[in-house]
């Protein structure tokens, strides 16, 4: 992260030395920014002010020090001074209220920042500069978090400029000859870095209050206390903090191998309840996480004679200390080895603990576990009866209804998960996806200092963050309490990249990187290197041992959005086989992304894709959802649309500022009724779903899903549903916009026939067109063809989206070239594009054109071919066809699933979209519609019409088949209805 600092206060230093006479100084500027923090003339920090940073660290959006002096008010009352002002920048204003309360040796500063509109930001930040000359090599800093970090400010620029990063109880700086400065953050994370990397003679302290999308008129509150204490008092603080320090836990042993006790938390349980065995042992090992040094396992014989092996894990109990603005984890017990086992069978289970180190193996006496019948439905697996869906051990169907809840950015992650899961579970949601990649739940990352630090007490390759591991224990318990089943996504593509649109590239700090002591010189080596594969299996073993006991762990997902290569596909197959061999509870396994090799792997249990629009180019995603879902049906496995949003570049709140949830609602119903095993899983959980209480979207879907016996018979998508207006109405035509949905990759087809009812044959539609000369010419199509049939002469518009580096766009109509144009990309403002971003890992520019390219066409049938003949790639985001869609086929989508005796359907007025709500419009109510849907069995059908907002049945009727179909007459259709029909007995 690179944010340019001003050193306005450097002149204040003069010839001051650190041994000058002590007198605490907190000098404030007219805007409330802290100009100087010093003990006498010994300066610790200067220029400590508030800034709002643009996404991607692309600049400052608002700066406290630059506030208009005429708009600042200052009010003193009850020993405190309050500053109020407005900070302006790029079309948004922030109201800042800052309160300052002083004592002779301290100052507490509280901030309340309120935007006047929704705005995406990288972070809200306080930042100060520490001069290098008097502090380098002399001043000691101490950070108290889950572990104590203590070091001197480096004398010379270190290889890793990030000296500390993450949440902290407090951070202190102790310079020779003067009192120590202690900073106690409230609602802030801290980062201390060496800015000599940017040719500035400063250390920088960044205190960040989170980022993402700030909501209009919703204040962000944070603060900090600055105090001076003696060095002796600092030493006492440090000693006290180390008593509860994770980093002080002993992780090795050198005693003779033995088991002194095995203590189970209970020996009588109901089926699918967990037994935890604590194992008191002595052994010889240096790394308790390495099963080659020490392994602890439970050998179990079930009542039916099955033999299971449950791996054990090393951990330590912790507790949470909470303040008004933060939470901290504290060690609350002795470290040791534990085994968690969840019996499924009723009867007596015989368990023996087996411990192996490099000197040999010892076994415990057998423990008998008595298991009685319980009420739990068991673990989730693939349904044996209807393999397109999931089911519990009991046979009860499991329809996944939920969202991504991937991380909790902030000082109180457990409190955030408590709130999110309570809202989700209460509304009927039952599924959530969590990331375990270098965040507050991650296990393995490079230890500090490192340029891109994770959150937690990471200890490097092959050792795991015990604070994060315990935190994930608690999150799993919260999920169990709220009836939520978790897909644990272990890693993400950013671990193997640099830069990126969201600055998500983290390879520089990946512990597998050879530069950090790992085995891989390049990211590609991760998939083939034997040591890397061995270490990843070690981490899988730990995750299985610690969390696999829970039925509420839905699945292990290896990766988020790692592009499949032949090497990666072989790696996935190897790791999936490892999980199937070592997970005694048999959890589901999947990954993203996948290809034919991945999805056909027998140990991959279900398939997934992710789906977003771009810059608001897709009002309705139903066609794309249908195309993806039905394409994946050929694998004979359940399918989930595991990420979903209006715009991959911005939160859904940008396009839904009033929080109507229209796109989330449509995705939920389309995902389910297109034939998926659950809803489309919305992405923006923290900035969109929770602030707008959009959990309500899940309730009617859950009620509908619970009313269906998904195990009763196989259900298949229904083709040839006809939706028509009442006969006799005159035919009219309206504009049709057809958007691409495959932002990247080779589509199943590059030829798309656009029908007058709005459907597209050949989809899903690709956007990116690559040249034949690219390094991987099979990665993208080199041409796209759109087949249209015009009723009258018109001007068709092709929407040019992004361009990478350069490309040659050739457009032909019916084989005749209409346009040949060289496209370029570059820095913002350097060309005809609207915006640009640089892909640092490839050192190329991607420019956003958002330009309509008109084509005048006569009436009749035409083939429009768009080709890339040279360069890199460009996008055709959409095609607009004026006056194309016939009123005989109203703008309605009808999705249906049917069996011999069951029909499920969703009927959707396509004007009911996020775009209609965003534009402040109301969907046109459609009356007199006639829906003809084929069914497999003739006879009388009991039909229920469901209100998809309330989850209530609003009409019941009996309809008899005619010529193999049901003719359904919907109520007046403003937005959508669902239908459940059963063949009458």
Residue 387 lies in a domain: no
Q: What is the CATH number of the domain that holds 18?
A: 2.70.98.10
Q: In sequence order, which residues have a C-beta less than 8 Å from that of residue 315 and are 6 or more positions away?
A: 335, 336, 338, 466, 469, 470, 546
Distance CA 570, CA 566 (A): 6
Q: Which two tokens stand for residue 229?
A: 């204490």
> What is the model's pLDDT at position 40?
86
> What is the model's pLDDT at position 10?
34
| Pick from 590, 581, 573, 584: nearest CA to 545 | 584
Residue 386 lies in a domain: no
Residue 3 lies in a domain: no
Distance CA 435, CA 489 (A): 5
Residue 775 lies in a domain: yes
Alpha helices by DSSP H, listed for 622-674, are 622-632, 652-655, 662-673
- Range 108-134 burial, b when 16+ CB lie within 10 A, else e: bbbbebbbeebbbbbbbbbbbbbbbeb
Residues 409 and 510 in one domain: yes
- Give how many domains the chain has, as a whole number: 5
Range of the domain at 138: 10-243
Residues 932 and 870 in one domain: no
Distance CA 531, CA 513 (A): 12
Residue 389 lies in a domain: no
Average the pLDDT over 97-112 and give the result.
Answer: 95
Q: What is the CATH number of the domain that holds 939?
A: 2.60.40.1180
Q: What is the CATH number of the domain that holds 353?
A: 2.60.40.10
Residue 145 pLDDT level (bands cut at 50, 70, 90) = confident
Residue 107 has pLDDT above 60, yes or no: yes
Distance CA 453, CA 474 (A): 23
The helix (run of H) or strand (run of E) holding residue 851 is: strand 844-857
Residue 382 lies in a domain: no
Residue 333 lies in a domain: yes
The radius of gyration of the chain from alpha carbons, rounded to an integer in Å, stands at: 31
CB 3 within 8 A of CB 51: yes
Chain segment 483-523, per-residue pLDDT in tens: 999 999 999 999 999 888 888 999 999 999 999 999 999 99
Distance CA 467, CA 54 (A): 31
Residue 548 has pLDDT above 60, yes or no: yes
CB 875 within 8 A of CB 740: yes
Chain segment 386-443, per-residue pLDDT in tens: 999 999 999 999 999 999 999 998 788 999 999 999 999 999 999 999 999 999 999 9
**Bigger pLDDT: 280 vs 829:** 280
Residues 939 and 881 in one domain: no
Chain segment 625-684, per-residue pLDDT in tens: 998 999 999 999 999 999 999 998 888 988 999 999 999 999 999 999 999 999 999 999
Residues 843 and 937 in one domain: no
Provide, for the chain, the percentages of residues in helix, strand and coil under a 3-state DSSP scheme, each rounded to the nearest 5. Answer: 20, 45, 40
Chain segment 308-357, per-residue pLDDT in tens: 999 999 999 999 988 877 888 989 999 999 999 999 999 999 999 999 99
Residues 876 and 903 in one domain: no
CB 923 within 8 A of CB 974: yes
> What is the model's pLDDT at position 723?
92
Whose tokens are 């709005």? That residue is 758
Residue 42 has pLDDT above 60, yes or no: yes
Last residue of a domain, one of 862, 886, 910: 886
| Pick from 763, 768, 730: nearest CA to 749 | 763
CA distances from 235 to 74, 163, 172, 287, 501 (A): 38, 20, 10, 30, 43
Residue 20 pLDDT level (bands cut at 50, 70, 90) = very low
Residues 237 and 304 in one domain: no
Residues 199 and 58 in one domain: yes
Residue 8 has pLDDT above 80, yes or no: no
Is the Cα dihedral 966, 972, 978, 979 positive or negative?
negative
SS3 685: helix
> What is the model's pLDDT at position 710?
97
Residues 702 and 756 in one domain: no
Last residue of a domain, one of 682, 713, 744: 713
Q: Which two tokens stand for residue 186?
A: 């409230």
| Pick from 287, 423, 339: nearest CA to 696 | 423
- For the chain, how many residues are written? 985
Residues 850 and 917 in one domain: no
| Pick from 790, 312, 267, 197: nearest CA to 547 | 312
Q: What is the CATH number of the domain that holds 832?
A: 2.60.120
Chain segment 895-904, per-residue pLDDT in tens: 999 999 999 9
- Range 912-937 burial, b when 16+ CB lie within 10 A, else e: bbbbbbbeeeebeebeebebbbbbbe
Alpha helices by DSSP H, listed for 307-464, are 413-426
Chain segment 809-829, per-residue pLDDT in tens: 999 999 999 999 999 999 999
> What is the model's pLDDT at position 2?
31
Task: Give the DSSP per-residue string, 818-842.
Answer: EEEEEEE--STTSSS-SEEEEETTT
Chain segment 758-785, per-residue pLDDT in tens: 888 988 899 999 999 998 888 899 999 9
The gap from C-alpha 471 to its chain's centroid, in whole angstroms, comes to: 18
Mean pLDDT taken over the chain = 93
> What is the model's pLDDT at position 22?
53
Alpha helices by DSSP H, listed for 396-529, are 413-426, 466-482
Residue 871 pLDDT level (bands cut at 50, 70, 90) = very high
CA distances from 483 to 62, 376, 828 (A): 42, 11, 48
Residue 359 lies in a domain: yes
Residues 228 and 295 in one domain: no
SS3 208: strand
Residue 890 has pLDDT above 90, yes or no: no
Residues 650 and 679 in one domain: yes
Residue 248 has pLDDT above 90, yes or no: no
Is the Cα dihedral 616, 617, 622, 628 positive or negative?
negative
Residues 328 and 453 in one domain: no
Alpha helices by DSSP H, listed for 548-600, are 566-582, 596-599
| Pick from 307, 311, 308, 278: nearest CA to 294 | 311
Q: Determine the straight-line distance between the first and last CA of the chain, rounded to whole angstroms.
A: 67
Distance CA 506, CA 526 (A): 14
Percent of the chain with pLDDT over 90: 81
Distance CA 906, CA 124 (A): 43
Distance CA 772, CA 410 (A): 46
CB 747 within 8 A of CB 595: no
Q: In sequence order, which residues have a C-beta less than 8 Å from that of residue 509 and are 6 or more positions away?
A: 438, 445, 446, 450, 451, 452, 453, 454, 516
The helix (run of H) or strand (run of E) holding residue 546 is: helix 530-547
Query: Which residues partner with 933 through β-bridges?
Result: 966
Chain segment 158-212, per-residue pLDDT in tens: 888 889 988 888 999 999 999 999 999 998 989 999 999 999 999 999 999 977 7
Q: In sequence order, which residues have a C-beta less than 8 Å from that of residue 797 and are 6 or more positions away?
A: 852, 853, 854, 855, 879, 880
Distance CA 95, CA 114 (A): 5
Last residue of a domain, one of 243, 258, 283: 243
């Amino acid at each position: 992260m690179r944010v340019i600092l001003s050193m306005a206060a450097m002149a204040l230093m003069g010839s001051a030395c650190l041994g000058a006479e002590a007198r605490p100084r907190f000098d404030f500027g007219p805007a409330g920014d802290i100009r100087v923090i010093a003990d006498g003339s010994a300066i610790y920090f200067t220029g400590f002010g508030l800034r709002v940073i643009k996404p991607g660290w692309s600049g400052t959006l608002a700066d406290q020090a630059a506030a208009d002096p005429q708009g600042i008010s200052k009010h003193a009352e009850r020993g405190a001074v309050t500053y109020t002002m407005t900070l302006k920048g790029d079309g948004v204003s922030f109201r800042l209220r800052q309160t300052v309360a002083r004592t002779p040796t301290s100052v507490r500063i509280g901030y309340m920042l309120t935007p006047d509109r929704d705005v995406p930001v990288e972070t809200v930040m306080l930042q100060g500069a520490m001069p290098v000359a008097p502090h380098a090599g002399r001043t000691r800093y101490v950070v108290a978090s889950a572990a104590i970090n203590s070091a001197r400010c480096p004398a010379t620029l270190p290889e890793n400029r990030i000296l500390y990063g993450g949440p902290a109880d407090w951070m202190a700086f102790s310079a020779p000859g003067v009192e120590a400065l202690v900073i106690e953050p409230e609602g802030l994370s801290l980062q201390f870095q060496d800015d000599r990397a940017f040719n500035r003679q400063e250390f920088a302290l960044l205190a960040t209050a989170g980022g993402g999308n700030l909501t209009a008129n919703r204040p962000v509150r944070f603060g900090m206390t600055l105090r001076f204490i003696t060095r002796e008092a600092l030493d006492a603080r440090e000693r006290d903090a180390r008593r509860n320090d994770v980093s002080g836990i002993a992780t090795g042993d050198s005693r003779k191998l033995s088991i002194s006790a095995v203590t189970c938390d209970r020996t009588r349980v109901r089926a699918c309840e967990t037994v935890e065995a604590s194992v008191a042992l002595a052994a010889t090992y240096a790394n308790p996480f390495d099963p080659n040094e020490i392994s602890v396992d439970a050998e179990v014989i079930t009542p039916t004679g099955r033999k299971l092996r449950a791996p054990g894990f090393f951990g330590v109990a912790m507790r949470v200390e909470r303040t008004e603005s933060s939470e901290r984890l504290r060690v609350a017990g002795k470290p040791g080895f534990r085994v968690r086992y969840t019996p499924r069978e009723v009867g007596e289970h015989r368990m023996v603990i087996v411990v192996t180190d490099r000197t040999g193996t010892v076994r415990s006496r057998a423990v008998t576990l008595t298991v009685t019948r319980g009420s739990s439905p068991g673990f989730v697996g693939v349904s044996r009866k209807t393999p397109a869906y999931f089911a519990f051990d009991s046979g009860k169907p499991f329809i996944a209804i939920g969202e991504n809840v991937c991380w909790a950015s902030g000082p109180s992650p457990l409190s955030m998960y408590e709130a999110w899961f309570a809202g989700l579970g209460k509304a009927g949601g039952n599924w959530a996806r969590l990331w375990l990649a270098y965040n507050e739940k991650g296990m393995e990352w490079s230890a500090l200092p490192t340029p891109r630090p994770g959150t937690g007490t990471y200890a490097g390759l092959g050792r795991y963050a015990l604070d994060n591991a315990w935190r994930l224990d608690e999150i799993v318990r919260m999920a169990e309490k709220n009836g939520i089943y978790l897909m644990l996504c272990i890693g993400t593509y950013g671990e193997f990249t640099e830069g990126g649109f969201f600055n998500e590239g983290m390879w520089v700090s990946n512990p597998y990187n050879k530069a950090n002591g790992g085995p891989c010189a390049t990211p590609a080596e991760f998939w083939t290197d034997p040591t890397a594969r061995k270490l990843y299996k070690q981490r899988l073993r730990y995750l299985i041992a610690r969390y696999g006991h829970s039925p509420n762990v839905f699945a292990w997902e290896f990766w988020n959005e790692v592009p499949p290569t032949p090497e990666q596909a072989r790696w996935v197959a190897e790791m999936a086989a490892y999980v199937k061999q070592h997970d005694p509870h048999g959890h589901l396994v999947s990954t993203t992304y996948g290809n034919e090799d991945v999805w056909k792997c027998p140990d991959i249990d279900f398939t997934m894709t992710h789906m977003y629009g771009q810059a608001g180019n897709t009002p309705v995603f139903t066609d794309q959802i249908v195309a993806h879902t039905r394409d994946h049906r050929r694998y004979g496995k359940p399918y989930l649309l595991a990420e979903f949003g209006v715009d991959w570049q911005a939160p859904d709140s940008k396009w839904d500022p009033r929080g109507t949830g229209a796109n989330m609602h449509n995705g939920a119903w389309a995902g389910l009724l297109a034939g998926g095993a659950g809803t489309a899983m919305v992405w923006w959980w923290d900035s969109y779903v929770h602030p707008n209480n959009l959990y309500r979207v899940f309730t009617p879907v859950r009620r509908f899903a619970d009313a269906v016996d998904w195990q009763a018979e196989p259900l298949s998508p229904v083709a040839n549903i006809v939706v028509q207006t009442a006969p006799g109405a005159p035919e009219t035509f309206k504009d049709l916009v057809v958007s691409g949905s495959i932002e990247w990759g080779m589509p199943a087809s590059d030829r798309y026939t656009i029908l007058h009812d709005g459907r597209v044959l050949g989809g899903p539609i690709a956007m990116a067109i690559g040249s034949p000369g690219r390094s991987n010419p099979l990665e993208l199509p080199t041409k796209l063809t759109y087949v249209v049939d015009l009723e009258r002469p018109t001007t068709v518009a092709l929407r040019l989206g992004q361009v990478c580096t350069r490309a040659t766009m050739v457009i032909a109509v019916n084989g005749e070239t209409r346009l040949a144009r060289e496209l370029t990309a570059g820095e913002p403002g350097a060309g005809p594009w609207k915006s640009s971003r640089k892909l640092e890992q490839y050192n190329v520019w991607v420019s956003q054109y958002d330009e309509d390219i008109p084509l005048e066409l006569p009436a009749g049938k035409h083939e429009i071919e768009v080709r890339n003949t040279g360069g890199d790639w460009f996008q055709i985001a959409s095609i607009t066809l004026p006056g194309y869609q016939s009123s005989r086929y109203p703008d309605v989508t009808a999705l249906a699933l049917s069996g011999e005796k069951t029909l499920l359907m969703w009927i959707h007025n396509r004007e009911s979209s996020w775009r209609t709500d965003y534009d402040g419009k109301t969907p046109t109510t459609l009356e007199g519609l006639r829906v003809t849907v084929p069914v497999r069995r003739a006879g009388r059908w009991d039909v229920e019409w469901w209100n998809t907002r309330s989850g209530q049945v609003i009409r019941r009727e009996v309809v008899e088949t005619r010529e193999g179909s049901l003719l359904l007459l919907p109520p007046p259709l403003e937005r959508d209805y669902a239908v459940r029909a059963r063949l009458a007995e």
